[in-house]
Structure 1
Amino acid sequence: MTGSISPNNKKTVVGFSATTGIILYGGFGAAGLVLGYFLPQLAAWAVKLPWVPFEGPLKLVNSFSGIWANLIIALLGFIAGLVVASIAVKETLVVTITDEAVQLDKDGHKQTIGRKEIDTVFLDGKQLVILGKSGYELAREKMDESPKTVVDGFKKHGYSWSSEGDPFRYEYRRWVPDTPELSTTANAFMRAREMALQKKDVKDIKELRNELIKLGYIVREEETRQYWRKVQKT
C-alpha cells in the first residue's frame, strides 16, 4: 500500500536525523576537500613507484601546480564528497512511525503500511521486516540505525514487536534447483535470484524477491543460500 502520513499525527522518525546529515555531508565533504588539495602531491609520490598503474593520468595530475590549481582541485574534491554524501543519504532507509501507519522512505520511493495491515515487526540481522496478518512480508529493508532505536520507535506506538525474530523461521526450507514443491516459474525466479546474489546485484535481488511474493513465496537468504516458505496469496 502506498500513500502518506498525515502531518498532524504524532510521529517517530527513525533512520535519519540532522546529526546524521551533518556527519555524512561534513565528513565526505571534508574528506574530498583534503584529498583534492593534496592530490597533486600524492600523484607526485605515486609516479615514483614502479608498480603503480595509470602512470599517464598520474603525471597529468602532478603537472598541476600552484596555489590556485590546488584550490580548484580541492573544490572539485569537496563537490565530489557532497555528491557521495547525497547518494548515501538517498540510500538510507527512513522510517516514520505513527499510531496509524508506518512509512518507509528509501531511494526516493515511499511505502505506507496501515496499522490494521501489520501483524508483527522484527529485525532479521540488519533488515527491518514488517509482516502482515497472513504471514506475508509487507516490507523487508536494510536498516542501519541501532536496534534499540528501532525497537523503541515501534514499541512507543504500540506495534507488536517480535524480540525473537521471525515467528515463521522454522517454516523456511532450503532451496535447491528444481525443488518439486515450487512451481516452474518460482524455480526460474529462484535460479535467477541465486545468480543475482552471486553478482551482488541489489536491484535484481529485490525485484525477483517481489516477483516470488506475488506467487505466494516468501524468500530470505544467507549469503547466496536461499530459503523459502509458502503463504496464502492475498
Structure 2
Amino acid sequence: MSVSTTGTRTVVRAGVGTRLFVWGLFPVLGAGAGVLLSLAPGWATRLPDWVHALPMMPGAEQIALLAGLQGVVLTSILAAVGLAAGLLLALTAHGEMVAVEVSPRGAVLTSSERREEYAREDIGAVFVDGHDLVLLDTRTAELGRWRTDHPERRLREAFVAHGHPWNEGDPYADEFRRWADGMPELDGHAQSLLRSRRTALKEKDAEDAAELREELAAVGILVREEGHRQYWRRARPCVEGTKGEHGNENGFLSVDGGDTDQGGAHGTR
C-alpha cells in the first residue's frame, strides 16, 4: 500500500508491490493449477461448480474432448486455461483497487470503473464497515460506500489529517432494527425492495444486493445484514426553512461530531 501526503492532500492507494504481486501471483497459480489438474485421474468429473462458471471455461462438450487427451497436449491446454483464469482474476482484483484522495475540500475515490467526488460540507461522518469505507451525509444518509482493503489506520490518518469527521464504526449503529416482512413502519415499496434483497442475499448475488441497497438508500432507508438477516434505519428528515448543502431550501440536520476533535476520532454512539 502507498500513502503520499502533501500540504493539501493525502492519497491512499495500492502500492507498486501490491500490483506486481497480483499480476504475478494469480496467473502463475492459475497455470500451476492447470498443470496439477492434468495429472489427476478423472479430473474432468472433479471440477467444482465455481470453475464451470468461469467465463473462459470450456463447455461440457469441450471438457469431454479434453478428457480424452493425455500427456503434454492436455497439460499445455489446461495450463493455458489456468493462465487465462489467473489473468482474469488479476484484472478483476486490479479493477477493484480504490485510490482514496483526501483534502480539506473533500474526498475523491477512484477505481478503474468509477470516480466520485464528495465535498467536505456534504460529509457528516466517515467510518469503516468491514471491508467498506462508508461516507454519510449531513442527514445521516449514505453518501458513498466503497469496498477497499486499505488498513483502517491509514484511512483514519488521512481523513483526520484534513479535518474530516472520522468515527470508530457506524455512529448510528444502535438505530438499526431487524427487518420483518410486513412491519408497519415501512411502506410497500421499501418492503418489496427488502424482500428482493433478502432473496439476493440467500442466492449470494452480491451485485444485486448492492444495487438494492442503493435503491433503498435513495428512499432514505439504510440497510445492513448479518448473514441473511437484514437490519434497517431511516436517514434524518430535512429541516424546513434552512439552506441545504446545495443551496436550496431543503436543509439537513447536522451530525454530531461534524468537527474533528484533537484526539482525531469520535467514538461510536
- Shorter-normalised TM range: 0.7 to 0.9
- Please state if 1:204 is matched with 2:202: no
Residues of 2 paired with 1:217 and 1:74: CA distance?
48
Give 3-state SS (helix, strand or coil) of 1:203's partner.
helix
List per-residue Cα deviations over 1:101-157 (Å, max 9, x = no partner): 212234602221111111111112222111111111101232222221221222232
Q: How does 1:130-149 map to 2 (within 5 A)?
A: 130-149=135-154
Q: In the alignment, which residue of structure 2 is the partner of 1:5? A: none
Q: In the alignment, which residue of structure 2 is the partner of 1:47? A: 42
Q: How does 1:55-66 map to 2 (within 5 A)?
A: 57=63, 60=66, 63-66=69-72
Unaligned runs of 5+ in 2: 1-5, 48-59, 239-249, 251-269
Q: In the alignment, which residue of structure 1 is the partner of 2:175? A: 171
- Please state if 1:95 is matched with 2:100: yes
With the length of structure 2 as denominator, give the TM-score of the two structures: 0.70
Aligned-pair CA distance for 1:16: 2.1
Residues of 2 paired with 1:112 and 1:182: CA distance?
31
Residues of 1 paired with 2:208 and 2:218: CA distance?
15
Equivalent residue pairs, number: 220
Residues of 2 paired with 1:37 and 1:101: CA distance?
49
Equivalent of 2:24 in 23, 26, 32? 26
Query: Is this contact kept in 1: 2:134–2:145, CA < 8 A?
Result: yes
CA RMSD of aligned residues (A): 3.0
With the length of structure 1 as denominator, give the TM-score of the two structures: 0.80
Change (3 A) 1:136 1:9: farther
Change (3 A) 1:59 1:111: same
Residues of 1 paired with 2:70 and 2:10: CA distance?
50
Change (3 A) 1:37 1:99: same
Would you tell me which structure has more helix in proportion to its own residues?
A: 1
Query: Is this contact kept in 2: 1:9–1:98, CA < 8 A?
Result: no
Query: Is this contact kept in 2: 1:96–1:102, CA < 8 A?
Result: yes
Unaligned runs of 5+ in 1: 1-7
Aligned-pair CA distance for 1:85: 0.3
Q: In the alignment, which residue of structure 2 is the partner of 1:127? A: 132
